Amino acid sequence: MAIEQRGRLIIVDAGLMFPEPNMYGIDIILPDFRWLYERVKDIDAIVLTHGHEDHTGALRYLVDRVKVPIYGAPLTVGFAKHRLTEAKLAGGLEFIEVADGERRKIGTFDVEFIPVTHSVPSAHALAIHTDAGIIVHSGDFKFDLTPIDGRRSDVARLAALGDEGVAVLLGDSTNAEEPGYTASEATVGVALRRLFLERPHKRMVVACFASHIHRIQQIMNIAVEQNRKIILLGRSMEANVKLARKLNLLHVDSAHLEDMANIDRYQPGQICVICTGSQGEPMAVLSRLARGDERFLPVGPTDTVILSSHPIPGNEWTVGRVIDDLHRLNTEVIHSGREAVHASGHARQGELRTLHQLVRPRSFVPIHGEYRHLVHHADLAMEMGLPEDRVWICEDGDVLALTESGLRRDGTVPAGFHYIDGTTGDLDETPLSDRRMLAEHGVLLVTAGIDRATGNLAQRVVVTARGWFEGEREKTIYAQCEATVNTALVEALAAGERDSAALNKIAQKAAGRTVGGRFRRQPVILPAITIL
């Protein structure tokens, strides 16, 4: 999101998306930054609400061209700085740490950082004071009244802003379909403690997000209570724990931490492993344990693996496969479908209503969520009394203009997706749709040779394919295809066509007609008609 005033811009968060299963070869998806690049001279800062990847993960692509100060809580900028340093991109960048409740002049704006609870510590809502009124951006939040670190959402400040008058509220919509209230993070600790207590002789392996410092804190507390040594597995787990301890956001005595190399010195019941990979990421620790290829920790019947997480939509299948693989190793697996070992970081309807009541905005824009979540959050805002013409459902690229008379639509800017392929770099939509066709329909190669002098077929039409049928059926299809292409080429040649590009096109079309019409397939067809 970019907010502009008097020709100057600030960017709020710069996140990435993870690909859907049919986005073959795509590692991550970024917002299309073209419009920001055009305005690069006008950008004053990047303001981060919190340290999750869907809010900071695109920074390493953005800061390449947009070199401006990055503001956020110490942990938030700490996470970002670590990732940028790893990518050797942090050089020359300015990271500015802000404290809870701090109000800062950033560019032409006054930005206030209001504490909110979420599934990562130090999350902030923003109050952006502008010439045309106050914009409140909820960030990702829930109202957890018993947070692990005792740092509650500053509802008093949100209410005070409501008293002052808020022009626009931008609100997290992730759980807008869910009635009631999101469980406190503390409830997860209760469930985990019971599961640990019931298994005194098991080695407990808990997978969770490496950024979920409060979850890690609770797991560590339970391990310490039960005299288990704590072993951290996964690069991001180790790095995040180190940073959070340094910032005094995670408390554990070094004596309780043990090195993976020493694991065999202990009985299973004396060990608690905390690892990454709760989303089934193939290269993360949990998947590797499930495949049995982690050198130091062969999991088996003496282990209980807890997935202290919920699959992000799209990851269900990969997570399911990891759970299956663990069962194959005779390992007990506990996940959020079986026990309350996870709590969401996002507000449900009850908390969203509270937010609306505290802020009482003149206009509302639902943000953060799939389209259906935005619609449900918009409905909730109207239930809370906002007239329909003050509620704006926006999609990527939509522009809103805020004036003293209110909010209105103001056109669009380019803001599509930008696909990143780990091996080849940037991609746009074309190669991706080719990959989809290759995966779903295979490829067909059509070859023939034409005698330039006579205009006759010097080499007969041959069709070969990959990703098609097997055996006799395949031969029939190829023969039909070859016959159609042959007829089409002979006709064109008789009519005097000698242009290689045109003949290739004709062959491609003829082959496409056969497979598309008779067999309802749309393979990628590669014609190779050579004029000899």
Rounded to a whole number of angstroms, the minimum distance from the CB of residue 75 to Zn ion is 13
Sites for Zn ion among residues 412-431 (CB under 5 A):
none
| Cα–Cα dist 279/274, whole Å | 14
> Which CB, 211 or 304, lies closer to Zn ion?
211
Provide DSSP, 439-506: HHH-EEEEEEEE-TTT-SEEEEEEEEEESS--HHHHHHHHHHHHHHHHHHHHHHHHTT---HHHHHHH
**343 touches 188 (CB < 8 A):** yes
> Which CB, 173 or 363, lies closer to Zn ion?
173
> Which CB, 140 or 303, lies closer to Zn ion?
140
| Cα–Cα dist 167/406, whole Å | 7
Question: Hunting for tokens 């043990």 — which residue is that?
Answer: 258
Rg (CA), the chain: 29
Sites for Zn ion among residues 1-30 (CB under 5 A):
none
> Which CB, 112 or 140, lies closer to Zn ion?
140
Chosen residue from 4, 112, 140, 303 binding Zn ion by CB under 5 A: 140
Contact between 258 and Zn ion by CB under 5 A: the answer reads no
**256 touches 292 (CB < 8 A):** no
Binding mask 81-120 for Zn ion (x = CB under 5 A): ----------------------------------------
Which are the contacts of 374, defined by CB distance < 8 A and separation ≥ 6?
Answer: 173, 176, 366, 367, 393, 394
The phi and psi torsions of 113 (rounded to 5 degrees) equal -105, 105
**Span of 76-84, 139-147, 158-166, 303-311 interacting with Zn ion by CB under 5 A:** 139-147
Both structure tokens of 3 = 């907010």
Sites for Zn ion among residues 261-300 (CB under 5 A):
none
> Which CB, 141 or 478, lies closer to Zn ion?
141
Rounded to a whole number of angstroms, the minimum distance from the CB of residue 289 to Zn ion is 26
| Cα–Cα dist 2/396, whole Å | 11
| Cα–Cα dist 203/190, whole Å | 19
* Nearest residue to 210 via CA among 114, 313, 281: 281
Rounded to a whole number of angstroms, the minimum distance from the CB of residue 123 to Zn ion is 7
**Span of 46-54, 82-90, 388-396, 454-462 interacting with Zn ion by CB under 5 A:** 46-54
Rounded to a whole number of angstroms, the minimum distance from the CB of residue 46 to Zn ion is 16
Rounded to a whole number of angstroms, the minimum distance from the CB of residue 479 to Zn ion is 55
* Nearest residue to 247 via CA among 119, 103, 81, 118: 81
Both structure tokens of 393 = 């459902």
> Which CB, 140 or 144, lies closer to Zn ion?
140
Helix segments in 276-428, DSSP class H: 285-291, 316-328, 349-359, 371-383
| Cα–Cα dist 461/450, whole Å | 10
Contact between 54 and Zn ion by CB under 5 A: the answer reads yes
> Which CB, 53 or 294, lies closer to Zn ion?
53
Which are the contacts of 426, defined by CB distance < 8 A and separation ≥ 6?
Answer: 418, 419, 420
Contact between 52 and Zn ion by CB under 5 A: the answer reads yes
> Which CB, 178 or 303, lies closer to Zn ion?
178
**Span of 49-57, 97-105, 448-456, 471-479 interacting with Zn ion by CB under 5 A:** 49-57
Contact between 310 and Zn ion by CB under 5 A: the answer reads no
**Span of 50-58, 151-159, 247-255, 520-528 interacting with Zn ion by CB under 5 A:** 50-58
> Which CB, 335 or 368, lies closer to Zn ion?
368
Interface with Zn ion (CB under 5 A): 52, 54, 140
